Structures are given as structure tokens and as C-alpha cells.
Amino acid sequence: MSDQSDQPTKAVEVGPSRSERWQQAVWFKTDGRYEEALLELKALLVDYPNDAEIHHQVGLILGFTGAFEQSLTELLKAVELSGENTVIRNDLALTYTMLGMYDEAKGQFARVLERDRDNQIALRNLTYF
């Protein structure tokens, strides 16, 4: 019988933590390095497909880069996952506004005000409709 302690042990590589990956993606986004931010965020989505904030950030970046249909898909997924999040709803409404989808924008701003009647972003933007 051989002694197992004589066998070499394999090193286990541990990659960056979720938090480190998230911080890297946000840094890329803030630095205007959208392709790199999207790569990191999409990799995070593989591991965390139901994370509303990841979908939110992907949606924002896609909007920044002109991929509006994909942007709306991601922002809607973020709202589906976290409907109570007024920041995400405001960003969806602002994206609708930018695209001239005013009825949809008004509806989202109204939903924000249902949760937070003093929300300045929603109040300010509803005055334009």
C-alpha cells in the first residue's frame, strides 16, 4: 500500500472574486473601455444570470454604444429581476425617452413614483411630457 502523502499535490488556481470582477468591470465602464467592461460583465452573467445589477450595467453600456435594442432587453431583464429598484427603472425610462418611446417612459417614471413619490429624477422628467 502506498503512502498518499508522498504524492505531489496539485495547486488549485483561484481566480478573482466576484467583487474583484465587478470592480474591474465598473472601472472599465467608468474609464470608457466599454468593450472590456462588457466582456467582464457578460462573464459575470454566466456565473450570476439572475443578478439584476449586472443586467442593468450591461444595458447601460449597450445604450452608450448604440446597441439600443439589446440595451432595452437587458434593462427590462434587470427590472424583471428587481422591479422595486428605482434606479434601474429610472434608467429604463431615460432610455425609452432617448429613443422617443414616450408612453413607455412615462409608465416607468410613474412606477418609480409609486415607490418613491419624491424621486427627483422621475419628477423632473415627467414635467417634459
- Write the CATH number for 34: 1.25.40.10
Provide block-wise average pLDDT over 10 residues at a time, the chain (129 residues). 57 78 95 96 96 97 96 98 96 96 97 97 94
Task: Supply the DSSP symbol for 7.
Answer: S
92 shares a domain with 51: no
- Name the nearest CA neighbour of 86 among 53, 111, 52: 111
Contacts of 128 (CB under 8 A, 6+ apart): 97
pTM of the model as a whole: 0.85
Domain that holds residue 98: 83-129
96 shares a domain with 123: yes
107 shares a domain with 63: no
- Name the nearest CA neighbour of 71 among 42, 50, 51, 92: 92
- Asked if residue 1 is part of any domain, the answer here is no
**Alpha helix stretches (DSSP H) within the chain:** 18-30, 34-47, 52-64, 68-81, 86-98, 102-115, 120-126
21 shares a domain with 35: yes
Q: How many domains does the chain have?
A: 2
Look at residue 129 in the predicted model and tell me its pLDDT: 87
